[in-house]
Amino acid sequence: MSDERPGLLEGAVWPAENTKLFGHADAEAFLAQSYRSGKGHHAILIEGPPGIGKATLAFRFANHVLTYPDTSGAPELLGDPDPTSAVSRQIASGASHNLLHLARPVDEKTGKIKSAITVDEVRRAGRFFSQTSGTGNWRIVIIDPADDMNRNAANAILKILEEPPKRALFLLISHAPGKLLPTIRSRCLPLKLAPLDDRALGAALANLDIEARDDDLLAGANGSVGEALKLLNYGGGEIIAAYNEVLGAHGASARRAMHRLADALSGKDSDTIFEFFTSHVGDDLMRRARVAAIAGQVAAAERLARLHSDISERLTVSDAYNLDRKQTILSILGDIKQPGP
């Protein structure tokens, strides 16, 4: 994690500073042409898996709007932002008076990123609009990701979306739009981004000076630059191997493997790899549930689906109450190891 950019993966480029985007030409063209028409939606929900470029697209579009405030004179396509322009410099430094980026804040006491976007963060949007109401400029709010808003924050942003200020644009980033209030989704135009294909992923990694020669890396990344960086720079491959070892072991060997994995995931500065692990476990359970269902093993498929839901809830509770991470991991692994009905 970067000390200057909380949450930024090692080897990644901060989305506000990123001048390149790969694999989403259709979405870029849609945004540019919609904006040029003067009939663009005031709230766009950019959906898709983590690490595929959603935040980069949001900042890229914001840069386009602020660079060309007159819709009729805007280009038909989004170009690469000019890092030397005043607009780009202000966006990259967080100093733009016309752009507000809302994300999970850092807890001043612990120095760690909070578990949710709070209502206090959303109130910044209210102050942002009131302070810029007389400028006549576009005012853009990026919520990154909107999934992280707690209930109070979500209700607060909903009130603004219901009666948006003039020349206001909301760009909501979502990894899992089903987590958002239906009333928020109904007030947004959905823009779905797909995982990157191998060619786009390879180009994106090359832009980060990474040669994606390993087919296992491309396969394991699932079309996500973020996942590729976790595999390369955070030991993600070793964590997957350790998880598979747990699944294949029995008795005392399984218990030892579980403790080794839990120790690796609960050490200092392990937040990124822990999130990688929990995401991998969720994906694995749902994959196994689909395989069981296709094979006609209905009871097994239902058990795996319930386990996926139960583990997700348990992780939420563990995070909210700051429960012992190692014990949470051991509990999860123990349940996964339980034989099916």
Is pTM beyond 0.85? Reply is yes
List for the chain the helix, strand, coil content (%; round to 5).
Answer: 55, 10, 35
* Confidence class for position 154, pLDDT limits 50, 70, 90: very high
Find the mean pLDDT for residues 262-274. Answer: 92
Find the mean pLDDT for residues 56-68. Answer: 98
Find the mean pLDDT for residues 231-237. Answer: 93
Q: Are residues 251 and 123 in the same domain?
A: no
Which residue segment(s) compose the domain that 258 sits in?
Answer: 234-337
Residue 37 within any structural domain of the chain: yes
pLDDT at residue number 268: 84
Find the mean pLDDT for residues 93-105. Answer: 95
d(C-alpha 146, C-alpha 176), whole Å: 9
Residue 6 within any structural domain of the chain: no
- Phi/psi of residue 37, nearest 5 degrees: -70, -20
pLDDT at residue number 340: 57
pLDDT at residue number 113: 86
Decide which of 194, 221, 253 is a domain's last residue.
Answer: 194
pLDDT at residue number 75: 96
For residue 99, what is the enclosing H or E element? strand 99-102
DSSP-assigned letters across all residues of 13-44: --TTT-----S-HHHHHHHHHHHHHT---SEE
Q: How many CB atoms lie within 10 A of CB 122?
A: 23
Residues 16-45: tens digit of each pLDDT: 999 999 999 999 999 999 999 999 999 999
- Selection from 120, 216, 125 nearest residue 169 by Cα: 125
d(C-alpha 206, C-alpha 257), whole Å: 35
pLDDT at residue number 2: 41
Residues 6+ apart with CB under 8 A from 188: 41, 43, 44, 45, 161, 170, 172
* Confidence class for position 103, pLDDT limits 50, 70, 90: very high
Is the confidence at residue 84, as pLDDT, over 50? yes
Q: Are residues 33 and 160 in the same domain?
A: yes
In the block, residue with structure tokens 């994906």: 283
pLDDT at residue number 339: 67
